[in-house]
Amino acid sequence: MLTDICRLRRAFSAGALATMGVWLAACGGGGDSGSPPSAAPVEVQLARQLQASGLEKNPQFSPVITALVNEPAALAQMDQQIVQSTSASYLAGRYTNTFNRLAQRASIARVYVQVSSDLACTAVPFGGGVAANTLMVLDGKMLDLMADVANGLAMRESGRTSLSLLQIVDLAASQQMSFSRFCQAADPLAFPDASLTPGELDRSVELFTQMTGGTFFHEFGHIWNWHSLAKLREQIFVPGGGLFTYTSVIEDNADIISGILNAKSGHAQSSAELAYDLMAFTVIYRRNPGGYSFGNTTSWQTQYQQTSPTYSSLATRKALLSSGFSGWRSH
């Protein structure tokens, strides 16, 4: 089997494999006689590059001006479109300390991040966040929910509530995502900051930082690895190409980078996994307020369901996160 995989590996160029995000370790040498030592798997290459400080953009890529398109100008336009679609909902300074902490932990030089009070109320009503060429916009509603959940989890760890994780999330969601809170930000309501001890609050800040890392580093992955450029080129080569203008390869790659940077930041893998579940939960809950529970998200039916061609199933996305963690830890 391994030999078959190694043959497959030699059949494709390194670039094609990188695009597919294929993990191929242990080829070359040993029983695979006659083959030269192989290049490191793409995840490991990414992990090595991400060990550098001051990260902003993957230096292996750059936009060019061709007969078909002026890529630098087109990329600037993609940034502009995101800003135009979301800027009315920006909350200046919200969660800035958390983003600064994450940027410092992962050695990201410059962070262009905005928080939308509720991304579902903008012209780009997508999930946890959107990223263009140099900037990202995160869904404040999801972050507010995570902050409430982090408070609940900190109280649970200190033994001051016996509520389960599922109950904590459902309770926080019933408050944060009630009709009266649509399109608005809210500080923790189910587990207010004032009800926490100083120790619990410290722990909650850490849990929230790590959960935010799950989505923040995913969006940073889009920026760092030039995914807007990839999308642009797909659109040029396959005009009106449906799925080919936004395949799950791009999202899968951002998930691997999220795993790498969360590992680099010293975060628990469980925090990033919880963030992914909460991200999916926030999107689905808003379509069925009151009729959906976190237990639905964590059920195996939901975990293994692929609901769109753009995103892998939650189970697969967690496996991609995990490969990022492994890539970092082994190098």
* C-beta atoms surrounding 265 within 10 Å: 21
Cβ-based nearer residue to Zn ion, 168 or 254:
254
Cβ-based nearer residue to Zn ion, 102 or 254:
254
Q: How far apart are CA 68 and CA 73, in angstroms?
A: 12
To the nearest whole angstrom, how small is the minimum distance from the Cβ of residue 151 to Zn ion?
A: 27
Cβ-based nearer residue to Zn ion, 129 or 152:
129
Cβ-based nearer residue to Zn ion, 234 or 251:
251
To the nearest whole angstrom, how small is the minimum distance from the Cβ of residue 113 to Zn ion?
A: 14
* Cβ contacts of 109 within 8 Å, gap of 6 or more: 53, 54, 55, 56, 103
To the nearest whole angstrom, how small is the minimum distance from the Cβ of residue 313 to Zn ion?
A: 15
To the nearest whole angstrom, how small is the minimum distance from the Cβ of residue 321 to Zn ion?
A: 13
To the nearest whole angstrom, how small is the minimum distance from the Cβ of residue 27 to Zn ion?
A: 29
Strands in 113-116's sheet, in edge-to-edge order, are: 113-116, 136-139, 129-131
Q: How far apart are CA 77 and CA 231, in angstroms?
A: 13
Considering only residues 253 to 292 of the shown chain, the ones binding Zn ion according to CB under 5 A are: 254
Convert 150-198 into a string of H (helix), E (strand) and C (coil).
HHHHHHHHCCCCCCCHHHHHHHHHHHHCCHHHCCCCCCCCCCCHHHCCH
Cβ-based nearer residue to Zn ion, 254 or 272:
254
Considering only residues 234 to 253 of the shown chain, the ones binding Zn ion according to CB under 5 A are: 251
Cβ-based nearer residue to Zn ion, 210 or 258:
258
Pick the closest to residue 14 from 49, 45, 36 (CA basis): 45
The pattern of x and - marking residues 193 through 232 that bind Zn ion according to CB under 5 A reads ----------------------------------------
Q: How far apart are CA 107 and CA 129, in angstroms?
A: 21
Q: How far apart are CA 257 and CA 225, in angstroms?
A: 9
> Residue 131 gets which letter from DSSP?
E
Total interface residues for Zn ion by CB under 5 A: 2
To the nearest whole angstrom, how small is the minimum distance from the Cβ of residue 225 to Zn ion?
A: 11
Residues that bind Zn ion (CB under 5 A): 251, 254
